[in-house]
Structure 1
């Protein structure tokens, strides 16, 4: 089974996890690791290394969802993804959003973490659109 780590600058990862749980319920095997201003890069590196090390030894693969390409969380995750000899593969996706977090919950049983990463990217692209006003009135009730 896969493990998902959401790694971001500031509290975004925690907020995505909290929002995801509000919509989905329990998000098993999904964790957040944040780079905080007061802790700095060294504290983030230590927390990320500990979290990822735990995940690679207890998962069939680790999917790291980062906030932005070339940011510290993505750069650190990418180093692990390229590290030979890990007990489980690591795939990194930059540009995390809430639909991605929710979609990842459906894919934890998939055998190939790199295929999961490709699917999430494709599905996330499809979920992004410009919103226009409706031409007919729409009720606010659910």
Structure 2
């Protein structure tokens, strides 16, 4: 399974902003730092601002910065929000599944468990875990953000 570029860039923007909480970060700075297109970054920054994760300021001295504490931004929630398709194999989609093995296949269940473990691992991490200066700090999240393409971000308790 490979993350979409959109997800990768979104995580990079959030990590960069978390590392530079003391100031606004510009799109040009982000683009130069990560060798990414300004146009792609503008779309991502606008999406993150619409969802309440970033504050944007235009004009001289403008830029973007995190609105929330890095410890309140769950990586699993961000990945779920960014990714549009978690179907690892054809049979994950009941409507388009044409696989003849489906009725007796155990592979689908194995992939479902693997995907659940993958997402569970991401749910245990916050943005703070990714930018912490203490590399020995264990990954774990007291609070995560639930993101939806339809509604703004809202804090929800972490899964226990």
TM-score (norm 2): 0.29
Pair member with larger Rg = 2
Higher strand share goes to which structure?
A: 1
TM-score (norm 1): 0.31
